[in-house]
Structure 1
C-alpha cells in the first residue's frame, strides 16, 4: 500500500512537466496596414490590417470605416470591442479578413485597437 501512495504523486508530477506551454508570444513581423482601396482588390478571406476611423453605425454589427482612400463596411461583433469606446474622431487599427460576395466587399473584424 505504501508504494502506491508514493507512485501517485510521482505520476502527477511527471504529467505536469510533460504539458506543453500555452502562453503564446511573438512569432514574426506584424502585418503591414493596407488601405481600403487595396483591401477591396484582395481576394476573399485575405487577412488585412487597416488604419482609419469608424465613422458611423450602419446596423447591428456593421459600421462604416474610412481612411484616406475610401470607405468600406466592417462587421464588428460585440466581443471585438473588448470594452473600448470609439468615436468618429478616433483613429483605430482593425485586423480581420476580407469578406467578398458577388455585390460587395466588407471586412470581418477580429481585433480592434485604438491608436494614440
Structure 2
C-alpha cells in the first residue's frame, strides 16, 4: 500500500509542470520573458526579408507580430518588411499569451527546404511598449 501511495505522489509531482506548461499560447485568428540563458552580444535584430536570404541554420532575432495560426505549431509572423512562417513548439510559449496586437521578439534558426523558408523558434518573448 505504501508503494502505491508513494508512486501516486511521484506521478502527481512530475505531471504538475507538464500541466502548467500547457497553458498560454497564441490567441488570434484560427485558434479553436527570457530570465536566464545565453545572450549573444553580437546578435542583432534582423528583418523577415533579410532572414529569408540567410543560409540554413543561421541564428536570427526578429521583432514583429504573430498574425495567424496556420496549423498545430506553425504561425504567420509579420514585420515591416514581410511575412514568414514560424514554427513554435508548445514548450516555447512558456505560459505566455500573445494576440495579433502584441509585438514579440523571436529568437530562432532559419530552416530552409527546397521551396520554403521558415524560422524554428527557440525563444519567444512579448515586447512591452
Shorter-chain TM range is 0.7 to 0.9
Are 2:122 and 1:107 equivalent residues in the alignment? no
Residue 59 of structure 1 aligns with which residue? Answer: 71
- Partner residue, 1:40: 52
1:11 corresponding residue in structure 2: none
Residue correspondence of structure 1 range 4-43 to structure 2 within 5 A: 29=41, 31-43=43-55
RMSD: 1.6
**Residue by residue, what CA displacement relative to the aligned partner does 1:47-103 show, whole Å, maximum 9, x if unpaired?**
000000000000000000000000000000000000000000000000000000110
Offset of residue 114 of structure 1: 0.2
The answer to whether the aligner puts 1:69 opposite 2:81 as a matched pair is: yes
- Which structure 1 segments of 5+ residues have no match? 1-23
Count residues in correspondence.
93
Looking at structure 2, the residues matched to 28 and 96 of structure 1 have their Cα atoms a distance apart, in angstroms, of 12
TM score, norm. by length of structure 1: 0.76
Structure 2 residues not aligned, in runs of 5+: 1-35
Instruction: Give the TM-score normalised by structure 2.
Output: 0.69
